[in-house]
């Protein structure tokens, strides 16, 4: 399927797309082939200021539109994304390097997300209670202009996570996509522009240290939402603290995935654990990158896991049968290779993969073989986020030691458990320091389930009704039937 793209893209500000200028642009490049896809304008502080001003001016009318009308527009956007999903998925496959079969599912998830919030906003009700002589009403009101910054690894889902709850709650938005993956979000902007009033959603493009910093620091932005690395998340949190505005942060992870010896189907667990580690080329904050397998089944499990990793098809992002494709850029590819070498230097045993794969027609790309390392939990490869198709395999035999090691990381985004024993499942889930714990199916994120992390994996929850609370603030109104008797009457 041939993808027609504009030669030049720019920010969407107040309903107008501004094309890239040659002196202020950067290239969108296919990471697999090195093909130049388009030029994108690099926004500066003045551009961000105009976008925030547009959002601020659009705010009163958007808020006054009401929940039902806003929900209908969000539902229309979901329909439009569903209609154009194949084209948008192809754009992401070219722009980010992910397998087309995966990215299609991202857009299905995004559509469900918009529809979920279009529905759940109707249940986001104000509350009232009787007080002496009257009533107290607690109203949920939008915060105002929301500054949102998303990463490159899953643009469709990340945009939906940010836009849907903010918009249905009555806020206006300035969203910055990552400079490594801007094209599908800008094309999404075309759909948004045909549905929403001008200024309600604005898109700014460019470098994080310029456009992202200007957006975070803008005095008219009343809410920050960031998904990305823990290091940058700390910066965003610091800016939010200085400005006294709320922030939602979804950051890094080094998730533990635990296999008990009582599992019923060894092959099924091996397959799911493989998926947990290498889905999205391993470029996922929630990836199950530390796999703890009980000693009683370790050897049999290891043999099957090695075979599973070795049969994964590495191919072009456009290959319908590929399950691993190229990393987002050469810098990320080299980083992953360096971590693999570091692990081996630390004493990890290489069981599968470990090198760069060659894919015909995609020689430019960094394709990393699905890599399996027998490791110790104290190694850096088990403590630091690699963001590539690399899995650390760890043996366990003592339950208390297992729990201690599973929690022995700065992160706490997600965890997995495989067992046929309900007590093992629930007791372990309650003791794991993770925002999501998936039992017998990794990455089981369904509509309305809260997603977010403990510890250095972030603050706040997305994809659930509670998210609406993060995009609103409470106003208390008390109503009395009559003015009370004077308390300051003269004696």
| DSSP at 328 | S
Cα–Cα dist 203/135, whole Å:
42
- Residues 390 and 288 both lie in one domain: yes
List the one residue out of 162, 192, 202, 158 whose CA is nearest residue 178. Answer: 158
Phi, psi of 226 (to 5 degrees): -135, 135
Residue 2 lies in a domain: no
- Give the model's pLDDT for residue 124: 86
- Give the model's pLDDT for residue 277: 98
- Residues 435 and 298 both lie in one domain: yes
Helix axes 183-193, 67-96, angle to 10 degrees: 150
Residue 122 lies in a domain: yes
Q: Give per-residue pLDDT as tens, 231-288.
A: 999 999 999 999 999 999 999 999 999 999 999 999 999 999 999 999 999 999 999 9
- Residues 217 and 305 both lie in one domain: no
Residue 85, domain CATH: 3.40.605.10
- Give the model's pLDDT for residue 404: 98
- Residues 169 and 193 both lie in one domain: yes
- Give the model's pLDDT for residue 489: 66
- Residues 317 and 198 both lie in one domain: no
Residue 490 lies in a domain: no
Tell me which of 413, 439, 465 is where a domain ends: 439
Q: Give per-residue pLDDT as tens, 320-351.
A: 999 999 999 999 999 999 999 999 999 999 99
- Residues 243 and 364 both lie in one domain: no
- Give the model's pLDDT for residue 491: 61
- Residues 144 and 34 both lie in one domain: yes
474: exposed, middle or buried (Cβ count in 10 Å: 0-12, 13-18, 19+)? exposed
- Residues 107 and 230 both lie in one domain: yes
Domain count for the chain: 2
Largest CA distance in the chain: 97
- Residues 428 and 468 both lie in one domain: no
- Give the model's pLDDT for residue 488: 73
pTM for the full predicted model: 0.96
- Residues 144 and 217 both lie in one domain: yes
What spatial distance separates the first Cα and last Cα of the chain, rounded to whole Å?
Answer: 89
Joined tokens for residue 61:
């009318």
- Give the model's pLDDT for residue 25: 94
User: Which parts of the chain have pLDDT scores under 50?
Assistant: none
User: Which domain does 407 fall in, by range?
Assistant: 256-439
- Residues 260 and 181 both lie in one domain: no
Cα–Cα dist 188/12, whole Å:
11
Is the C-alpha dihedral spanning 263, 267, 272, 274 positive or negative? positive
Residue 145 lies in a domain: yes
- Give the model's pLDDT for residue 175: 98
List the one residue out of 185, 186, 240, 175 whose CA is nearest residue 211. Answer: 175
Residue 339, domain CATH: 3.40.309.10
Residue 444 lies in a domain: no
Spatial contact of 332 and 388, defined as CB atoms under 8 Å apart: yes
What positions carry a catalytic annotation?
A: 250
Residue 44 lies in a domain: yes
**Helices then strands (H, E): number in the chain?**
13, 25
- Residues 262 and 225 both lie in one domain: no
Cα 84 to Cα 156, 317, 470, distances in angstroms: 12, 19, 30
Residue 446 lies in a domain: no
């Amino acid at each position: 399927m041939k993808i027609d793209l504009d030669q030049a893209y720019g920010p969407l500000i107040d309903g107008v797309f501004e094309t890239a200028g040659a002196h202020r642009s950067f290239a969108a490049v296919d990471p697999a082939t090195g093909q130049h896809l388009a030029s994108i304008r690099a926004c500066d502080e003045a551009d961000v200021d105009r976008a925030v001003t547009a959002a601020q001016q659009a705010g009163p009318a958007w808020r006054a539109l009401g929940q039902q009308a806003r929900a209908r527009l969000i539902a229309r956007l979901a329909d439009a994304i569903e209609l154009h999903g194949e084209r948008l998925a192809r754009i992401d496959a070219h722009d980010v390097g992910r397998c087309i079969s995966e990215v299609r599912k991202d857009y299905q998830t995004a559509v469900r997300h918009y529809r979920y919030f279009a529905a759940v906003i109707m249940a986001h009700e104000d509350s009232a209670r009787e007080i002496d002589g009257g009533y107290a009403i607690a109203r949920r009101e939008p915060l105002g202009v929301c500054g949102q910054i998303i990463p490159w690894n899953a643009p469709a889902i990340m945009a939906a996570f940010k836009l849907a709850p903010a918009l249905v709650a009555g806020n206006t938005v300035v969203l910055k996509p990552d400079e490594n993956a801007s094209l599908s979000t800008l094309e999404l902007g075309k759909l948004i522009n045909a549905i929403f009033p001008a200024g309600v959603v604005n898109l700014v493009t460019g470098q994080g240290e310029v456009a992202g910093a200007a957006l975070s620091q803008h005095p008219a932005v009343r809410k920050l939402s960031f998904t990305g690395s823990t290091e940058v998340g700390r910066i965003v949190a610091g800016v939010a603290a200085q400005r006294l505005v709320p922030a939602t942060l979804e950051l890094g992870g080094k998730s533990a995935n635990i296999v008990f010896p009582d599992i019923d189907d060894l092959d099924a667990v091996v397959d799911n654990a493989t998926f947990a580690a290498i889905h999205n080329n391993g470029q996922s904050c929630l990836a199950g990158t530390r796999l703890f397998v009980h000693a009683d089944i370790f050897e049999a499990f290891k043999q099957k896991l090695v075979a599973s990793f070795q049969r994964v098809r590495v191919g072009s992002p456009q290959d319908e049968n590929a399950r691993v494709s190229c990393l987002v850029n050469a810098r990320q590819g080299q980083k992953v290779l360096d971590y693999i070498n570091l692990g081996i230097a630390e004493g990890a045993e290489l069981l599968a993969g470990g090198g760069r794969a060659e894919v015909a027609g995609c020689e430019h790309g960094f394709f990393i073989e699905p890599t399996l390392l027998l490791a110790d939990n104290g190694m850096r490869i088990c403590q630091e986020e690699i963001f590539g198709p690399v899995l650390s395999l760890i043996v366990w035999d003592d339950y208390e030691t297992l729990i201690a090691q599973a929690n022995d990381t700065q992160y706490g985004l997600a965890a997995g458990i495989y067992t046929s024993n309900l007590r093992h499942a629930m007791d372990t889930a309650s003791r794991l320091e993770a925002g999501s714990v998936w039992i017998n199916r990794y990455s089981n994120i369904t509509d309305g389930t809260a997603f977010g992390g403990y510890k250095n994996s972030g603050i706040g929850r997305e994809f659930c009704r509670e998210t609406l609370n993060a995009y609103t603030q409470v106003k208390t109104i008390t109503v009395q039937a009559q003015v009370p008797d004077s308390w300051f009457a003269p004696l």
